[in-house]
Structure 1
Amino acid sequence: MAKDAISLWREYLQKIQSINKSIHARLLTDITGRNYTIVLELSYTNYADLEPAKCLLTRQDGWKEFYQQFIPLCEFSERTQYKLEIDF
């Protein structure tokens, strides 16, 4: 299932990146835990853009169709927000 999920994300992110270069996303995987964890990292310049209604990624054509394909491959999800304090 993890390979299928990663393939789905790769295809969707490549498609979106070709349409909108302002969307910066990284897909990471946990290689040490008991479960296979996929992390989608998105960068925003301000906190207001974190709201789901303003998210550039989810407002793209094809998002709903993509996400419906991803849901059966996902055991659970959570949203964690981090603030970048230092970038070298």
Structure 2
Amino acid sequence: MILIRNIFQLKFGKAREAKEIWNEGKNTVEGFTKMNYRVLFDLVGDSYTMVLEVTADNLSAFEQQMQSNVGTDAWRNWYQKFIPLCESGRREIFTIVEENKL
């Protein structure tokens, strides 16, 4: 199992708008309903940081998830609204070695 962490450094004051656009996207982009994900916003540290964490069985499964999202008009239209809110972004991918869920 892997964890993919997409980290977006939002422009100053754009967190609320990013949350609104995320909510719009998760309801219109069908691929979002087929993923295990969490959305996080900073509490401390770098201000205006949004993180989209996704889990997948392996890199191949993640790549298939991405292709089913990125290839759609709905995703492209949503992404064009989201991108202007971002200063930068990066992706981190981890192997999940152990997990304890209470």
State the TM-score, normalizing by the size of structure 2: 0.70
Aligned match of 1:36 in 41, 48, 61? 48
The worse-fitting range, judged by mean Cα deviation, of 56-65 and 36-45 is 56-65
| Unpaired segments ≥5 residues, structure 1 | none
Identify if the C-alpha distance between structure 1 residues 25 and 60 changes in structure 2 by more than 3 Å, giving closer, same or farther.
Answer: farther
Shift, 1:50, TM fit: 2.9
| Unpaired segments ≥5 residues, structure 2 | 1-13
Q: Percent identity?
A: 30
In the alignment, which residue of structure 2 is the partner of 1:78?
A: 90
**Corresponding letter in the other structure for 1:35:** S
State whether structure 2 residue 18 is matched by structure 1 residue 10.
no
User: What CA RMSD, in Å, does the superposition of the two structures yield over aligned residues?
Assistant: 2.2
Number of equivalences: 86
**Structure 1 moving runs of 4+ over 6 Å:** none
Looking at both structures, which has the greater relative contact order when contacts are Cα pairs under 8 Å and sequence separation is at least 6?
A: 2
Alpha-carbon separation, structure 2, partners of 1:21 and 1:66: 15
Shift, 1:20, TM fit: 6.7
Shift, 1:15, TM fit: 3.4
Higher strand share: 2
